[in-house]
Copies of this chain bind each other. A is one copy, B any other.
Amino acid sequence: MNYPNGKPFNPNQTRGGIMNRERRSKIEYGGRGMSLENDIERSNQFYIKNKQAVIHKKPTPVQVVHVDYPKRSQAVIKEAYFRTPSTTDYNGIYKGFYIDFEAKETKNKTSFPLQNIHEHQVKHMKQVLSLGGIVFLLIRFKMQDEVFLLPFKHFLPFWERCQQGGKKSISVEEIQENSYYIPYQYQPRLNYLNAVDKLILDESEDRV
């Protein structure tokens, strides 16, 4: 939507030409190349500090099987397993809205593989959307270092296309056409609530 059509933005080219691979890999411009999860975590801390929003990542669900209680010290989990999450990773409140989203990175340069998303997560997001929540996916293409906010209602047709035997991924072009592009900025680096503002505005216009 507000993404300049055509060639993907290459941050290295704008910083004085393409560097050799080795040098480039060691340089981090203020954390560029940081994981999406880290970026979101920093943004969320920024939003809380500035009283804009309260959004948290949910802890990874773990099935605890065995715990030791050593005398005079902390309980130690000795056997546990990772469980598949039944909801999305992030939720919270912003401008009175219930916010719910999943964040995913892909190394794939040309498309976002749908196997990154679980069926029960889609079910969860459908339910939240029907109750009036603001639901979306944050998708980062690692190689291009670009992040998009894809509203869940625009994601759903691609998911259904896949369920009906169609493509198992969403192409970069399809994502560009259906998403809000989130440019990196100074503080917070990934100001995804800017894109959420646009989503809220578009949703309210849809309702008129």
- A residues at B contact (CB < 8 Å): 48, 51, 53-54, 56, 58-62, 64, 74-83, 86-87, 91-100, 124, 127-128, 130-133
Contact = CB atoms under 8 A, between A and B. Distances in A.
Contact of A132 (B60, B64, B86, B93): B93
Contact of A133 (B77, B87, B93): B93
B61 A59 contact: yes
A91 B59 CA distance: 13
Nearest to A130: B51
A165 to B, nearest CB: 29
A94 B131 contact: yes
A41 to B, nearest CB: 12
Contact of A80 (B56, B80, B99): B80
